[in-house]
A and B are shown apart, each in its own frame.
Chain A
């Protein structure tokens, strides 16, 4: 019964995708949207049942390998599922956000010509994501991984007539290829070590591996290197420095996509993957330190960029990268459950922020420039309220979901008690300050002050289809943090991992309110109020030193230029190889040169065959004589 439910989830989703993709024009857009939403809703209900089962039955892991795909001696690649608390939780989050975004898209995309193509893509995305989450082996995870990458590519370039969209989706695709290459290497290395792609077999084989006696390459042990390669794949997918450059550009896609794919679900696939492979990552001590540093740097430095950007969606995109940095740094101290808790709360409030931004953009007729907004609070009260909820969550206002998850990350970072983790704690604390500033800046500039874009009377709230998802997500963002104890005890797969210091809800709240994070919250509020509500930004930035700093930050640390230079270098190299090596050596020397030589040589031999019979006869007799002569000479 439960098995059928599990399998029917991806089937429903792929069915939805196929129906939307291949349906005739008889199926109207509204009906198509409703059918698609209903199918996703049914899968969501199914996933809730599975979720309920996983969390009520202790030590319950639903596992099945229902299809053997490739079976060569020693190599078995199957299709199957492994549902434990981690994947059950992830499935619920993915399907819930997906359902909400489906509903929202009916409103948001209603005027688009390619309405059904859009719905086909997002159903396909949800399918791939579910495939990734419920997979029981690394190969199926990789298929889902590539599937979400593909749909992300298709959806960033959804408005394919816009040149910037095409460039952005190409960028996302190429950056992800870099990660995927390393990801495959990592998968193969893990297979070589553990002799299986299947999680269950992998982790039971891991117990047999002599960890203290691994091979060392350049001073790193085998597991470190394998995990490092896997993590580079996660870096590209989860947009960590320096492979984060694609995520801000991906905002070229429709806003519901930014909420679903580039904030809530796909970009967290990297975190999910590391959490899934946590039994292996525990042994990769050097790589986890690397993960910790990358996460902290991303959390702080990309967050800073958000303060200076003027595109409403890009600001939220930078904040997504920054929040992903928090999750990644929690992975770096093996606090997988904590990281996953932030993933879960972040999914709700970040999707909420994006959908609110979409609502604002729609009301302003596709204007995304925040310098043209302001004072929208009166005209868009519901959107304003929801946006406020999202902002309070992201800055970690007490009792909102972000407060619990972010404070938990900071707490475990402090309790880790090493030099590196303390340094990272400081970085994350400054990151929290930055988060407060850019989030409040956005809400102050967009919803407060005076309107800077013409006649404010023309602006009005969108329809109920747009607003109801906002309300659902706002509610979830507010309450989702209270299940914190589930996460603290949530075992990731079969291995007990890090003990987390947690004494109960009330002590945690009181402790969190009195922690340094609250100081950053208050300080951030006053900075943002001073700069953006009281409009002191211009006088502040005219200061010589701040001007220089802001110039550096506005250049986005030149990561784009770095990648452009890399590609220019590769272009020059390949141009050199093409003209010098390919044309000069291969083409004119080997391919054309060799036949020319043979041709020349053959003109000499050609004259032997004159065509006259007597020449041939002479040759035959002459050679016979020579041969017999040699034989005779030998005999005698």
Chain B
């Protein structure tokens, strides 16, 4: 029997993987974008679980909004990445350290 705990653990694992993806990954900025998407998905999963559990449709409706926004966001992200690539001819994160104080 798959209980709610299993779902929550799964969602937490997914979130941890994506967080790890953000700061262990040092190669490609595209992977960074994908990790962020994954993070959003794990949060969505939580929404769906709680919505189902409390018999409230609002959570599931919200997921659609988040998906739409995430899609728009990744489109912008991709555009930024493309212009970044044009400017610097590489997508290596190690080279992007201009945020230094």
Contact = CB atoms under 8 A, between A and B. Distances in A.
Contact of B32 (A606, A609, A610, A613): A613
Contacts of B96: 611-613
A617 interface: yes
B99 interface: yes
A36 B44 CA distance: 99
Given A614-B23, A621-B23, A606 B101 contact: yes
Contacts of A621: 19, 23
Contacts of A609: 99-101
A618 interface: yes
A611 B93 CA distance: 10
Contacts of A617: 19, 22-23
A546 interface: no
B97 A614 contact: no
A621 B100 CA distance: 19
B100 A618 contact: no
Contacts of A614: 22-26, 93
A617 B25 CA distance: 11
B40 to A, nearest CB: 15
A611 B99 contact: yes
Most chain B CB inside 10 Å of its own CB: which residue of A609, A610, A612, A621: A612
A557 interface: no
A616 interface: yes
B98 interface: yes
B55 interface: no
Interface string B21-39: 0111110000010000000
Count class of interface residues, chain A: 10 to 19
A614 to B, nearest CB: 4
Contact of B23 (A606, A610, A611, A618): A618
Nearest to A615: B23
Contacts, number: 36
A328 B24 CA distance: 96
Contacts of B32: 613
B39 to A, nearest CB: 11
Contacts of B97: 610-612
Contacts of A616: 99
Contacts of B100: 609-611
Contacts of B22: 613-614, 617
A611 B22 CA distance: 15
> For B24, B93, B100, which residue has the most chain A Cβ atoms within 10 angstroms?
B100
B83 interface: no
B19 A613 contact: no
Given A618-B23, A621-B19, A621-B23, A613 B93 contact: yes
B89 interface: no
B5 interface: no
Contacts of B19: 617, 621
Contacts of B93: 612-614
A606 B99 CA distance: 12
B94 interface: yes
B13 to A, nearest CB: 15
Nearest to A608: B101
A609 B97 CA distance: 10
A610 B93 CA distance: 13
A545 to B, nearest CB: 87
Interface string A591-615: 0000000000000001001111111
Nearest to B93: A613
Nearest to A625: B19
A370 B68 CA distance: 111
Nearest to A613: B93
Contacts of B98: 611
Contacts of A611: 96-101
A268 B93 CA distance: 89
B36 to A, nearest CB: 10
Contacts of A618: 23
Interface of A: 606, 609-618, 621
A-B residue pairs, 3 tightest by C-beta: A611-B100, A611-B97, A609-B101
21 contacts: A606-B101, A610-B97, A611-B96, A611-B97, A611-B100, A612-B93, A612-B94, A613-B22, A613-B93, A613-B96, A613-B99, A614-B22, A614-B23, A614-B25, A614-B26, A615-B23, A616-B99, A617-B22, A618-B23, A621-B19, A621-B23
Given A609-B99, A613-B22, A614-B24, 7 more contacts: A611-B96, A611-B98, A612-B97, A612-B99, A614-B22, A616-B99, A617-B22
